[in-house]
Structure 1
Amino acid sequence: MKFIWVFHAKRIKQLSIIVMMALFAAGFLYIERSQLPVFSTSEGPQAFYRAETDDNRIALTFNLSWGDKQVGPILEVLSQKKVDQATFFVSASWAERYPDLVKQIKEAGHLIGSHGYQYKNYTSWEDEKVRKDLIRSKQVLAELAGEKPTLLRPPNGAFDKRVLALAEKQEYSVVHWSVDSLDYQNPGVDAIVDNVMSNTSSGDVLLFHASDSVKQTDKALPIVIDQLKEKGFTFISVEELMASTEANSEEIK
């Protein structure tokens, strides 16, 4: 079965939508989201942003590239709230420094994706440098986590059509997000909760962080999880969310 991911953008100069028969689409997608131009076709590289679904299932994701103080408390919250299918996008250079934490994440039942190796913007690098970073990251995480990562969130979330093509050649699926908690700004627990609760709908990919730079995530997270559950949301893995999306085509210029 073939799936076409649907993307949305904050700033769209021109918008046209072509609806075609299920399981077939021949459109081009171009997204201009902040500094993230994304181009995809039904046959070529693509990045997953959110699923078009109405079953109230969402995916919880964390970026992780620095420090060892916040991972434990966040894992404890997820355990207490019985959320065992989060995805941690881990910088491989961080993983080398903290292999025991990689093991803890894996043993808790969470999925480990790649966040690159050096944590530098791929969009500013030449192809060969990006390729080597992708390969090195995969090798390190495969060794430490026991399996090759198949999901990639490029460092800083920065990618373009060239990076998508390079990632595809390394058998990665690029995963972005549709709801940003803004926890990295440390705006206060209430603000983090509001950022998530006021923007989350069925099929969303939620972005949090687990690096030491975030000081309030472990306190906001249990509130967010409780309130989302009260609204009828259930948490599934990014992979499940990707597999459950409807087949649609959308052309955005």
Structure 2
Amino acid sequence: MNFFFVLNGKTFKNMALILITAFFTAWFLYIGNIIYMPAFSTKDGPKAIYKGEKDLALTFNIGWGDEKAEPILDILKKEKVKSATFFLSGSWAERHPDLVARIVKEGYEIGILGYNYEDYTELEDAKIRQDLAKAQVVFKKLNVKGIKLVRAPSGHFDQRTLKIAEQLGYSVVHWSIDSKDWKNPGPREITNNVTRAKKGDIILLHASDSAKQTAKALPAIIKELNRKGLKLVTVSDMIANAETSIKEIK
């Protein structure tokens, strides 16, 4: 038995219109997902580092506050953690020269977190340069030498940020594991977020006053990372003589 489907011109036109609409809707959704993918580097231009090849890097952002940085330094010393990278805003460093000196004295690496807490993707090129230059002046006055790393203050950056940082002699550093300590979800959740890390990961933590639970989570984090046999290094040590992972910026 044969079956035949007969379409009149109007029905065919309606079905074609539906198919075309569906196709373009799917296409725009696909393009939208590409445009808003996390972006870390230009294809042929300067690169942003977010993951290394081996070991593990604990990084701490400090943008403001008077209470949380010192306890975290105390815990690192007590737990015999000799390598970590602190990204400091110039405005915070300016107000806390003693803590900056302690970070340097205890052998930790310092990177720049801009001067003010600014979203670089919303600033003109000249404003980005001005913010970084202002931070440079602060660290020079504090006699902090050899800074090669920058982290975008809000975590947001684009091709312009990468190019400007490179022109000023810096590498932009992101992260592969977000502890989410800035959300204050509880010490246990912060610990769980961090200890899923594997070799090569760069961990984002905070030592600003807004991150109220980081110090409580830190001993358990260190204990678990040690148990997993992950060696803690600075970001610079991680990327020296090793491959780093990048993603293309769109």
Q: How far is the alpha carbon of 1:158 from its aligned partner? A: 0.9
Q: Which position in structure 1 is the counterpart of 2:42?
A: 40
3-state SS, counterpart of residue 62 of structure 1 = strand
3-state SS, counterpart of residue 32 of structure 1 = coil
Q: How far is the alpha carbon of 1:40 from its aligned partner? A: 2.0
Matched positions, count: 220
Indicate the percent of aligned positions where both proteins have the same amino acid. 46
Q: Which position in structure 1 is the counterpart of 2:51?
A: 50
Q: Which position in structure 2 is the counterpart of 1:180?
A: 178
**Paired AA for residue 172 in structure 2:** V
Q: 2:209 aligns with which of 193, 212, 226?
A: 212
Cα pair 1:202 1:233 within 8 Å, conserved: yes
Q: How far is the alpha carbon of 1:98 from its aligned partner? A: 1.0
Could you report, residue by residue, the CA deviation over 1:225-248 in whole angstroms, capped at 9, with x for unpaired residues? 011100111101100111243377
Give distance in 1, aligned partners of 2:216 and 2:79: 13
Could you report, residue by residue, the CA deviation over 1:162-209 in whole angstroms, capped at 9, with x for unpaired residues? 1100111110100000011111111111111111112x0110000100
Unaligned stretches of 5+ residues in structure 1:
1-11, 15-29
Q: Which position in structure 2 is the counterpart of 1:24?
A: none
Give distance in 2, aligned partners of 1:99 and 1:248: 34
**Compared with structure 1, are the counterparts of its residues 191 and 131 closer, same or farther at alpha carbon in structure 2 (3 Å cutoff)?**
same
The structure with the greater share of residues assigned to helix is: 2
Cα pair 1:117 1:137 within 8 Å, conserved: yes
Q: CA RMSD in A?
A: 2.2
**Paired AA for residue 96 in structure 2:** Y
Cα pair 1:49 1:176 within 8 Å, conserved: yes
Q: How far is the alpha carbon of 1:250 from its aligned partner? A: 6.9
**Compared with structure 1, are the counterparts of its residues 31 and 242 closer, same or farther at alpha carbon in structure 2 (3 Å cutoff)?**
farther
3-state SS, counterpart of residue 128 of structure 2 = helix
Aligned pairs for 1:193-232 (under 5 A) are 193-198=191-196, 200-232=197-229
Larger Cα-atom Rg: 2
Give distance in 1, aligned partners of 2:220 and 2:108: 20
**Compared with structure 1, are the counterparts of its residues 85 and 65 closer, same or farther at alpha carbon in structure 2 (3 Å cutoff)?**
same
Cα pair 1:48 1:175 within 8 Å, conserved: yes
Give distance in 1, aligned partners of 2:202 and 2:78: 21
Q: How far is the alpha carbon of 1:145 from its aligned partner? A: 4.2
**Paired AA for residue 202 in structure 2:** V
Q: How far is the alpha carbon of 1:147 from its aligned partner? A: 0.9
TM-score of the superposition, structure 2-length normalised? Answer: 0.82
Detail structure 1 runs of 4+ shifted over 6 Å in the superposition.
247-253
The structure with the greater share of residues assigned to strand is: 1
Unaligned stretches of 5+ residues in structure 2:
1-31
Give distance in 1, aligned partners of 2:178 and 2:248: 24
3-state SS, counterpart of residue 234 of structure 1 = coil
Give distance in 2, aligned partners of 1:132 and 1:248: 29
Q: Which position in structure 2 is the counterpart of 1:21?
A: none
TM-score of the superposition, structure 1-length normalised? Answer: 0.81
Cα pair 2:48 2:246 within 8 Å, conserved: no
**Paired AA for residue 47 in structure 2:** Q
